[in-house]
Chain A
Amino acid sequence: SAVISQKPSRDICQRGTSLTIQCQVDSQVTMMFWYRQQPGQSLTLIATANQGSEATYESGFVIDKFPISRPNLTFSTLTVSNMSPEDSSIYLCSVGAGGAPYEQYFGPGTRLTVT
């Protein structure tokens, strides 16, 4: 298994600003994923972040809005740029367990409120 921590755990931000969310894993992993969970909703995959390559974004998500860094095998950041109230969500990172079958471990999430 993998232990994942996220910072901050929650934040309240003003519209038009940006927030960078950090995801730290206690072991080296190849694949990391970022999800968004809007209030009362299920999880939606934002992007897949592999170390050493550009993140791959899902339909509806763009790099200018959600830039991702993956500088090494234990760390990643997601930035929510030029925020609006619609960006108020929980943002979660997860990591792949490796091997087959491919399981994921999730962080506790970052609860973002945009006012």
Chain B
Amino acid sequence: DAKTTQPNSMESNEEEPVHLPCNHSTISGTDYIHWYRQLPSQGPEYVIHGLTSNVNNRMASLAIAEDRKSSTLILHRATLRDAAVYYCILRGLSSGTYKYIFGTGTRLKVLA
């Protein structure tokens, strides 16, 4: 299974943009890149996903490298509520079933 590598932790000031990197050098052509975040004492929640092209939604943007071996989650203006563990996940098809392989995650600390 393809794996992801993320920094253990990052800090950002409130109201500033945050770029969360993820390396996935063994990604296969059919793997989607998903980002989830886990707030304290909650289950993970969906943030964004993509395959090849950059993606934007109301929560964040996802920038995918041309060779797809890395990606960056961009939070345009961090708020205190964005403090969470952010997981970069590859969603692959295995034996006819899609499943997630979670990375170690990046703990984002937002400073007031």
Given B46, B51, B101, B104, which contacts A104 in the complex, CB threshold below 8 Å? B46
- The reply to whether B46 and A105 contact each other, CB–CB distance below 8 Å, is yes
- The reply to whether A45 and B100 contact each other, CB–CB distance below 8 Å, is yes
Given contacts A106-B44, A108-B42, whether A45 and B49 have CB atoms under 8 Å apart is no
A60 at the interface (CB under 8 A from B): no
- The reply to whether B99 and A33 contact each other, CB–CB distance below 8 Å, is yes
Cβ-closest chain A residue relative to B104: A42
A56 at the interface (CB under 8 A from B): yes
Q: On chain B, which size bracket covers the interface?
A: 20 to 34
**Alpha-carbon distance A54/B107, docked complex (angstroms):** 36
- The reply to whether A48 and B99 contact each other, CB–CB distance below 8 Å, is yes
**Alpha-carbon distance A106/B51, docked complex (angstroms):** 22
- The reply to whether A44 and B102 contact each other, CB–CB distance below 8 Å, is yes
Given contacts A104-B46, A106-B44, whether A42 and B102 have CB atoms under 8 Å apart is yes
- The reply to whether A92 and B97 contact each other, CB–CB distance below 8 Å, is no
Interface stretch (choices A14-22, A64-72, A74-82, A94-102): A94-102
Given B42, B91, B97, which contacts A101 in the complex, CB threshold below 8 Å? B91
- The reply to whether A42 and B103 contact each other, CB–CB distance below 8 Å, is yes
**Alpha-carbon distance A102/B33, docked complex (angstroms):** 11
B95 at the interface (CB under 8 A from A): yes
Set of chain A residues within 8 Å of B42, measured between Cβ atoms: 108-109
- Name 26 A/B residue pairs within 8 A (Cβ), A-sorted: A4-B43, A31-B97, A31-B98, A33-B99, A33-B100, A42-B87, A42-B104, A42-B105, A43-B87, A43-B100, A44-B102, A45-B99, A48-B97, A48-B99, A92-B44, A96-B98, A101-B32, A101-B49, A102-B91, A103-B34, A103-B49, A104-B46, A107-B43, A108-B41, A108-B42, A109-B41
Seen from chain A, the residues whose Cβ lies within 8 Å of a Cβ on chain B are: 4, 31, 33, 42-45, 48, 56, 92, 94, 96, 101-109
